[in-house]
Structure 1
Amino acid sequence: MSWQSPSPRVRELIRRGAEIALTPSADWLAELDAATLSGEARRQIAADPVLAAGTRRTNRSNLLFWAASNVRAPGEPVPANDTEAPLAVARDMIRRGLDESALDAYRVGESVAVRMWTQIACSLTGDPQELRELLDVSLRSISAFVDDTVGAISARMRAERDELTRGTHAERRETVTLLLEGAPITRERAESRLGYRLQPTHTAAIVWTEAPDADLSRLDRAADALAEAAGQLRPLSVIASAATRWLWVHGRPDGDRARAALDQLPDVRVAVGSTAPGVDGFRSSHLDALTTQQMLTRLTSPSRLAFHHEVELVALLTADPEGADRFVQRTLGELETAPPEITETLRVFIAEQCNATRAAARLFTHRNTLLRRLARADQLLPRPLAQHTVEVGTALKVLQWRGHP
């Protein structure tokens, strides 16, 4: 594309606009993230916490890269953004089995960015001629920048795909994929390729981090700790992406030991599936771990460790997030925003089958204190607790995993 430098006045306007774009508002970023993670074509990316976090980082990286370039050299062509953020997302997409069609998110982000930049441009000048030249130059710049960046990312994805088709890791990932898809591979053949027995009882887990600068060796330490919590020497571990491991261990990990180990590994999160035998158990446990991970992401839960049996009901209920929000609001009423000690007391009371003595002991509080809190909770509920105990308990579990209390 031939490129003609803009007039000095428009160069100055572009520089001023780029300075504004370097400090985007939270609302702009939220709109950009929502657009690039919405729609059926991007559903798999949005449901994966690592890919979703990477997409949000890439949105910011692209925005700041283009803006910074135009502060330095306003109105000049901007090279492709081949920094670590977009390249890391490209690598992870390939390891998730996605192809270049996933880069559609860049085009969606471009349309949002163009609208935001147009608003900035219109605030810089009221002269029609200046505005026309400013928009002509800058919008061509944005389009070329996105085209070149998508081209660079596509090349990185092709290289990553070539790398993954070679070596031991590729064979292990391919074998696991065949098992998860129910493809015709014999158990003996799969066991030989994985070095892992498929007949015993399995528990699958997903270990990941969303932190951009995390120590990735902690993922492998968390995997080993989960195996130790199940009484095993080592897990079957597959690199699903740079920041994600898929694991299987024989038996069931002890929750307390797993939590204690995870306390020593900041930024690492673990979703643990069900426990079941054989090839079918290998598959179903992984799907349950994936459901657990997606629920944590959907609810933006702060919890770093979750077992499927703990969240199965909440995962089913929150598969429709808006419906779940309405259910919580209708069921809890004013209790939804009550102090944490009130909601936690009621949740534990219901979990202990409405036995006040056991609930007080579990909460390490005096029974009279517990009864006062329960009375306050009953006042805040739209209906008396005795009339819909199951519904209230379920709504409180949603709050618990949503980070409240």
Structure 2
Amino acid sequence: MVVEEALALLLRGTEQVYSAHELRERLGASRPLRVKFGVDPTSPDLHLGHSVPLFKLRQFQDLGHQAVLVIGDFTAQIGDPTGRNAARPEASAEEVRRNAATYREQAFRILDPDRVEIVWNSTWFEKMTSREMLLLQRRATATQILQRRDFQQRWEKGEPIGLHELFYPLLQGWDSVMVRADVEIGGSDQLFNMLIGRDLQEQVKQPPQVVLTLPLLEGVDGENKMSKSLGNAIGVAEGPEEIFGKTMSISDELMGKWYPILLGNLVPPDAHPMEAKKKLAEWLVARFHGEEKAEKARMTFERVFSHREVPEEIPEFDLPGQEMPILEILLSIGAVPSKSEGRRLVTQGAVLVDGLRITDPRSTVRFTAHPLLRCGRRFFARLKPEGL
């Protein structure tokens, strides 16, 4: 691919670039670029929001460049202040390592493992002496760091800002120095930190990295940034039917935002919204689980929701008795994560046993056979009470 074509592909879907001219020059240098993406493994799961920069990283890989995945096992224990109105809670080293293991497996659903260099930033930070840490802090001023919007807002509100939080952008920037990054990719909320990386590289006489920012993905609620804690996320490791079904639940307006971010193009103007949404859902499942499972997920969705049928494969669950409260059933088979969620679904009429809608959370189900339970739009289970 010629330089201009490669540049157009890589800039597609980005929000800000520092700078396109520098990227063009480096693409024409006839050598693989080192493209950095850093993650602090503060939770065990990746969701679609995390996948946006990973898809861009894969584009660089497909053009022959080297992905450098920086696992922030050191910085995760400090906590990125980005987008926060309070300091993040401290994470333990054991928790970070455990999360990092699942991050790698899930990231490789998108990235080519043969073109990924994985580094841990504890490798250099844990070797730093106190003197070296203080010398690193000399490379920026408090005035410069406090210009960051997150800090400005907290300062104006009189909210506390930890000294360790002010140090975080320097740590992320120093990662770029240590891996000699040519390009860094990140969400639009990471722009400040990535520009600090450019500045630090120039100070140590390295060519400053090109910075590409990508838009933040709104969650399935269409209101907030995708976040597992807000319950509006689609996990990279979720099952094919779950990914397909959750994607189909988004509004047409949100679909119009997801298309350019995830697919790199607009919704076809002549496409029916339902068909366009199915195409998006099928593409997502295919990226994480393969074409065959994507086709099957679509068929299952259409069978259940378009033709009002049940899935071909329904999991079976053994129950310890022939009579149980409905909330205990839902919890024991994993249909809901908590009794409060089960109570909400039952009250809304979203739980059916053999077609009979249960609306009282205090209900007890007495079994005479192996009934079919449906919870919400996508959860089906065949119940097998003891002795029946």
| Same fold per superposition (TM over 0.5) | no
- Please tell me the TM-score bracket, short chain as reference: under 0.3
Structure 2 length normalisation: TM-score?
0.26
Larger of the two Rg values belongs to structure: 1
Structure 1 length normalisation: TM-score?
0.25
Q: Larger % of strand: which?
A: 2
Q: Larger % of helix: which?
A: 1
